[in-house]
Structure 1
Amino acid sequence: MTSRVMLISPALNPSLRQARFDDGCSLDTAGALRARSAAGALPAADRTLVSPTVRCRETASELGLDAAASPGLDGLDPGRWRGRTLDEVGAAEPEEVARWLTDPLAAPHGGESVHQLCLRISRWLDEAARFSGLTVAVVEPEIVRAVTVCALGAPESAFWRVDVPPLSATEFTGRAGRWNVALGTTLGTR
């Protein structure tokens, strides 16, 4: 049995434009328009999921997807850094940010570490492997990073080295406990 998972990153919103830890901000006009222009570009899915964040739910809606919320696909919990920009946090807590970006076990913000996120996503990927057919999910960029790291068996230190552009599709195909990765199809560029 072959399982396919296509992860779609959300369209732009002010938080993504400002490198702000998720604050529940809606898509901006340009992001919503770009997502809407990509509606119909995705293959028919056997199962459609969405991260519970506002920008992921709105992206799924603009793409015309009737997606079920999946709390297991929630983004990385930034703890007390929620709503702040990376520049703000870096200026106030440079050592903590440096540690967070280099040590997958670190969670100086009081939220979830990269290691904890990868463990959670690894469990989700194991469940996805038991589903025959195509799963399409609109998820935060850090979920795409974590699935990529887990699928390739890469060290968690590689997490921050995976770039995930807005409104891009990354596909994972798995069989017999092994995943292949097809990277970076950008949606809505027709």
Structure 2
Amino acid sequence: MTDLDAVKIVFAGPVGAGKTTAIRSVSDMPPVSTEVPLLEDVDGDKTTTTVALDFSTLLLDDGTVVQLYGLPGQEHFGFMRAIVLSGAIGAVLVLNGADEQVAEHCREWLASLNEVAAGIPIVVGITRTDIAPAFDLGEVRAVLRAADMVTPVMTFDARESAQTGQVLRSLLAVALADAC
């Protein structure tokens, strides 16, 4: 796949989107996590949040180690973004499709990622669409068009290893194509 022994991928997005869950579902080892109890209400049954980062690894068939990092979603931990994104070959922007503000979160996170890691390859993975009958993928695609971004956008279940793996394969394809 690459001449590197390891590549770094970052999962980014708002609180409750499924970043930690996605990393857990696809990792080869239990993730190192900096989760603490939530001090503010969020939708659903979420009781903890990441305050520094999540970290785990995935070994690809060709021997490449993929280092998986998860960013905290809360804005007051935004200073971690530049630190964690340093050296990453790409980012998965994870969004919660059940959140009525999914398009706005997409816009905000794209701007943030561009601010701290301009030009980094990004794919967008949207979770919880199974519980969001009103979800419209077109709204997220419109945000990407407005940002002049052509990138894969897909729905996935962050709890499912195969689906999270597909999101990662999409990112690796985009990142490696950009590297050529």
| TM-score (ref. length: structure 2) | 0.33
Bigger share in helix: 1
| TM-score (ref. length: structure 1) | 0.31
Larger relative contact order (C-alpha < 8 A, sep ≥ 6)? 1
Could you say which structure has the larger radius of gyration? 1
